[in-house]
Amino acid sequence: MKIAMACHPTHGGSGVVAAELGMRLAARGNEVHFVSYERPFRLDPLTRGIHFHEVEVSSYPLFRYPPYALALANELLQVVKCEGVEIIHAHYAIPHSLAAVLARSMIPESGVKVVTTLHGTDITLVGSDPSYAGITRWAIEQSDRVTVVSDWLASATHEKLAPDQNLKTIPNAVDSKIFSPQQANPQLRARFAAPEELLVAHVSNFRPVKRVQDVVSAFARATRDSSARLLMIGQGPDLSLAQDQARKLGVSEKICWLGPIDDIASLLACCDLFLLPSESESFGLAALEAMASGLPVVSTLSGGIPDVVTAGETGYLAEVGDVDSLAEHCRVLLTDAQLRAKMSETARLKATEQFGWDQVLREYEKTYEELLSP
């Protein structure tokens, strides 16, 4: 098959899923064309069968906001025309789903089909914002197939945007060879923590939905009487709020602000606990990658998180904003080595057994094949 993937290239789960899926499809002999304004950070451009098409957005003094969606639709049209692409797979509805539907309308004789995968905030935040809701709903309805990354997101899509939409749940997956405790590198760990210190990690895009101040507050309370360090991986609008919070609570010297890191597997494998106190999380791929790396996860009872993190077995879950409970769960895990080891093992097992790529790849391939079969 010839497939075009339209996705956000920046650090974030939807781009990761698109890149990982594309590379696996290519490994199975498919031709996969990535279309974006930059190479997705997890995409290895040297993989056989992978092609990258950069969307160039011309600026013009008349445009206060250069129309990226139009440039993307135009590039998708070219890719369908010149490369014979049969499927456009849009990851994250805005603007990919609309651009894909536009491209399809411009070249109906090609028979190209549009698959949209909804990832979370494209429905819960941006997609349901009045300024985008109408066009997002339309693009979803016009797609030939729509998939969601969790049953929770299916319900949210029905409730907030498209009540009658047919949705197929295909969960996210993790490569448990790459995300593995075996990737741990003692020298790397020693850069961040003394031998007696434990390492807590948080990975996100530091948007308000991630509640990064709760990460700092919970860590500060949990480590009042113990010695641990916090790795804050990523960047985004709430970075300075989190840094202010750290100064206010007097824990700045215990925190390393690492910014975005492309290859986090070896770093995660050096850590002992993952903290993700999100307001909403359709799936929580960051938590899954941490689990595969052998980290128990302390997170919130939000969105699809309870399907990934089993409370009491692979970590603990608190109500959103309940910093005391988050801190207590972290404290317990940081002080009880036996419990931590048991949960680490169960987390790794659950990630490997329930969220491997084989089944997920089959489901996406089946989705494409159904659309292409006469």
Distance in Å, CB of 238 to ligand GMT, minimum: 12
Examine residue 212 and tell whether it contacts ligand GMT (CB under 6 A): no
Separation of alpha carbons 163 and 366, rounded Å: 25
Examine residue 127 and tell whether it contacts ligand GMT (CB under 6 A): no
Among 22, 40, 95, 120, binds ligand GMT (CB under 6 A): 120
What are the φ/ψ torsions at residue 115 (nearest 5 degrees)?
-110, 125
- Name the DSSP class of 54: E
Q: How far apart are the first and last CA of the chain?
A: 14
- Give the gyration radius of the chain's Cα atoms: 21
Among 17, 19, 242, 360, binds ligand GMT (CB under 6 A): 17
Separation of alpha carbons 161 and 133, rounded Å: 7
Half-sphere exposure of 256 (CA within 13 A, CB side): 18
Distance in Å, CB of 113 to ligand GMT, minimum: 21
Amino acid occupying residue 301: L
Query: Of 12-20, 33-41, 62-70, 249-257, which segment contacts ligand GMT by CB under 6 A?
Result: 12-20
Distance in Å, CB of 237 to ligand GMT, minimum: 11
User: Taking Cα atoms as reference points, which of 222, 249, 248, 211 lies closest to residue 232?
Assistant: 211
CB 174 within 8 A of CB 42: no
Amino acid occupying residue 112: V
Examine residue 207 and tell whether it contacts ligand GMT (CB under 6 A): yes
Pick 112 or 275: Cβ nearer ligand GMT = 275
Q: Which of residues 268-307 bind ligand GMT (CB under 6 A)?
A: 280-285
Binding characters for ligand GMT, 145-184, by CB under 6 A (x = yes): ----x----------------------x------------
What are the strands, taking DSSP E only, across the chain?
Answer: 2-6, 31-36, 50-54, 87-91, 113-118, 145-148, 168-169, 198-203, 228-233, 255-259, 273-276, 297-300, 315-318
Query: Of 119-127, 158-166, 219-227, 354-362, which segment contacts ligand GMT by CB under 6 A?
Result: 119-127
Distance in Å, CB of 367 to ligand GMT, minimum: 16
* Other Cβ atoms within 10 Å of 322 Cβ, number: 17
Q: Which of residues 75-114 bind ligand GMT (CB under 6 A)?
A: 92
Distance in Å, CB of 261 to ligand GMT, minimum: 16
Among 205, 213, 293, 300, binds ligand GMT (CB under 6 A): 205
Question: How many residues of this chain bind ligand GMT (CB under 6 A)?
Answer: 20
- At 62 the three-state DSSP class reads coil
Pick 222 or 308: Cβ nearer ligand GMT = 308
Pick 128 or 172: Cβ nearer ligand GMT = 172
Binding site for ligand GMT (CB under 6 A): 12-15, 17, 92, 119-121, 149, 172, 205, 207, 209, 280-285
